[in-house]
Amino acid sequence: MSKGLSNKLAGQVGEFLVCAELGRRGLIATSFTGNVPEFDLIVADESLKTLPVQVKTSRGHSWPTTANRWIDVTIDEKRQKQIDHGDSDIAHPDLIYVCVLLAAPESDNSDRYFILLKRDLQVICARNYRAWMSKHNWKRPKNFRSLDNRYYVTDLEFFEDNWTLFEQQLDRS
pLDDT (average), residues 55-70: 96
At residue 108, the pLDDT reads 80
Confidence of residue 167 (pLDDT cuts 50, 70, 90): very high
Residue 99 pairs with which residues in a beta bridge?
56, 114
pLDDT higher than threshold 60 for residue 4 = no
Query: How is the chain split into domains, by residue range?
Result: 3-172
Rounded Cα gap, residues 160 and 110, in angstroms: 13
Q: Is the pLDDT of residue 35 over 80?
A: no
Residue 70's Cα: distance from chain center in Å?
Answer: 12
Where residue 86 falls (left for φ over 0; alpha for ψ -120 to 50; beta otherwise) is left
Q: What's the fold here for domain 3-172?
A: Trna Endonuclease; Chain: A, domain 1 (3.40.1350)
Considering 3-17, 105-119, 146-160, the range whose residues carry the highest mean pLDDT is 146-160
Q: What is the pLDDT of residues 114-161, one digit of tens each?
A: 999 999 999 999 999 999 999 999 999 999 999 999 999 999 999 999
pLDDT given for residue 109 in this prediction: 84
| Secondary structure (DSSP) of 72-105 | EEEEETTTTEEEEEEE---S-TT-EEEEEEPPPT
> Mean pLDDT over residues 61-68, rounded?
96
pLDDT number for residue 3? 56
pTM: 0.92
